[in-house]
A and B are shown apart, each in its own frame.
Chain A
Amino acid sequence: MRLNGDSQVLRPWALADDRELVEACLDDHAEAFDVLVERHQRQVYQLCFRYVGNHEDAADLVQDTFVRVFKGLKGFKGQSAFTTWLYRIAVNVCLSRVSRKAPAPAALAGNDWLDPGAVRQDTVLLREERAAEVRAAIGQLAPKQRATLILRVYHDLPHEQIAAILGSSVGAAKANLFHALSNLKKLLQ
């Protein structure tokens, strides 16, 4: 165990990189997987939320993603970055869900799962309304266009990594992004 500047005890795995955490998981160190989840849960949640447009489905997808990650750890050879592999699983989970169910964008009212400490002003509400419009429009995109747009715009992944995640070429990834933006322009007019 280590101590930080505030004399708080740090878990030993908190400072390990993703590869070391994966190795620790394979050595039956359960807490190492908790650290992996905590480290990447926000990014995965945001990806899933943008894909399905509501918290409940996104929460299920995040959970499914990490369960699949755990089950697939033995098959992770380290040939790609852990985040590439993680995003690939998350996108596949989202694609599987979307193929079975149409996205249900969240309504602005009744969002009691939101942080109750947040100050709600008119500008914030207007911004959320516009964001909801954008999310609804994104929800109407074809699955791979949607995935490409989310990974590029919101996760700032390079086209090469997006291509690796989606199993396509760099050119196809760029073409998907172009068509996603073109379709969104029409949907948001």
Chain B
Amino acid sequence: MSHLSDIELVDFVEQALRGPGAAHAVNCDHCRARAEALRQTLARVADAGVPEPSPMFWEQLPRRVRSVIGDESAAHSAPAHEWFDWFPHVGVRAIPVAVAIVLVIVIGLALNTDAPTTGDVSPAAPGASAGARPVEDISAAEPTDGSADRAWAVVRALADDLAWDEALDAGLAARPDAAERAARTLTSDERSELLRLLEAETKGKGA
């Protein structure tokens, strides 16, 4: 019979080996020597206790656990922000940046469409490439009165300069759920692009 395997040696050391292996171990110097080496290591290891912390540690631990659970429960009971479920590291300061970037993408895609049927030609968004992919023509959804020009001017100010303060000074402010609503209109590719831009933005600002 061959020598004991590693598993059989453990059983032998723990006095749990039965059958032919046990009979072999009794008569085999090699296996007994290996087992003795394991026992000595076990004895030395088993003797290493754990320093006992102060009694205050034991008294405080349940309170600390309860405190953390309470804090996390309070955080979760705050209004849900689905928008941030897939941006785990975006801070509050990135909200206007996120809104502006969403608007940049939406505007950029809109301005890259084919010429609208009305004959009006929308100016290309800054940085838009000539070979941009075709997207659905949203020009038909634009209002035809002059309010569109003022609205787009504000949007472009946000997009170009990320000047959130300017919009606020002008009396315009995003609705609390504006970012979330905007995000819901994005396609999967747009969301991926937005995520990439936000990660680059937060890394650049050391967030």
Contact = CB atoms under 8 A, between A and B. Distances in A.
A135 interface: yes
A134 B45 contact: yes
A179 interface: yes
Interface in A43-73: 45-46, 49-50, 55, 59, 62-63, 66-67, 70-71
Range class of the A interface residue count: 35 or more
Interface string B63-96: 0111011001000000000000000000000000
Residues of A contacting B: mostly = helix
B51 A111 contact: yes
A134 B50 CA distance: 11
A49 B10 CA distance: 25
B53 A45 contact: yes
Given A37-B61, A70-B65, A175 B53 contact: no
Contacts, number: 105
Interface residues of B, number: 32
Interface stretch (B34-42, B121-129, B181-189): B34-42
B204 interface: no
A175 B45 contact: no
A23 interface: no
Contacts of A70: 65, 69
Contacts of B61: 37, 41, 45, 59, 62-63, 66
A119 to B, nearest CB: 13
A188 interface: yes
Contact of A118 (B10, B40, B52, B58): B52
Contact of B62 (A37, A45, A116): A37
Contacts of A63: 61, 64-65, 68
B206 interface: no
Q: Considering the complex of A and B, which 7 residue pairs feature the smallest CB-CB distances, nearest first?
A: A134-B48, A131-B48, A178-B6, A37-B62, A174-B7, A66-B65, A174-B10
Interface of A: 30, 33-34, 37-38, 41-42, 45-46, 49-50, 55, 59, 62-63, 66-67, 70-71, 106, 111, 113-116, 118, 127-128, 130-131, 134-135, 138, 149, 153-154, 171, 174-175, 177-179, 181-182, 184-185, 188
25 contacts: A33-B65, A34-B66, A41-B62, A55-B53, A63-B68, A67-B65, A70-B69, A71-B69, A114-B52, A114-B53, A115-B53, A130-B44, A130-B47, A131-B47, A134-B45, A153-B45, A174-B7, A178-B6, A178-B7, A179-B6, A181-B38, A181-B45, A185-B38, A185-B40, A188-B41
